[in-house]
């Protein structure tokens, strides 16, 4: 977590989850709070601390390639245009 505050880790991990969720004409359907609650539930279900799962998801979010980011953006734009 070097270089990242706990807030950034939790925000990054929420963004990772939000990017996988549904989209509407207004954008991503899940709020950061929704995504955090999902993360907390998953952590409890698999017996991992929420902090550790947040850290792992944050690392995955920061490791996304430009192609991954472009694919997420395209999916969002298409969904927003089709609704």
* pLDDT for residue 83 is more than 60: no
Give the residue-averaged pLDDT of 4-30.
88
Please report the pLDDT score of residue 35 as a whole number.
98
The pLDDT tens digits for 22-81 are 999 899 999 999 999 999 999 999 999 999 999 999 999 999 999 999 999 999 999 989
- DSSP secondary structure letter of residue 63: T
**How sure is the predictor about 1, in pLDDT bands with cuts at 50, 70 and 90?**
very low
Contact 30, 19 (CB under 8 A): no
Contacts of 83 (CB under 8 A, 6+ apart): 24, 25
Place of tokens 């998801």: 57
* pLDDT for residue 4 is more than 60: no
Please report the pLDDT score of residue 82 as a whole number.
86
| Domains of the chain by residue range | 6-82
Contact 39, 28 (CB under 8 A): no
């Amino acid at each position: 977590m070097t270089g990242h505050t706990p807030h950034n880790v939790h925000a990054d991990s929420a963004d990772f989850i939000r990017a996988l969720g549904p989209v509407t004409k207004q954008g991503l359907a899940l709020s950061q709070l929704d995504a955090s609650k999902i993360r907390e539930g998953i952590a409890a279900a698999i017996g991992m601390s929420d902090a550790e799962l947040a850290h792992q998801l944050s690392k995955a979010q920061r490791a996304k390639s430009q192609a991954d980011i472009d694919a997420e953006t395209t999916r969002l734009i298409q969904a927003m245009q089709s609704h």
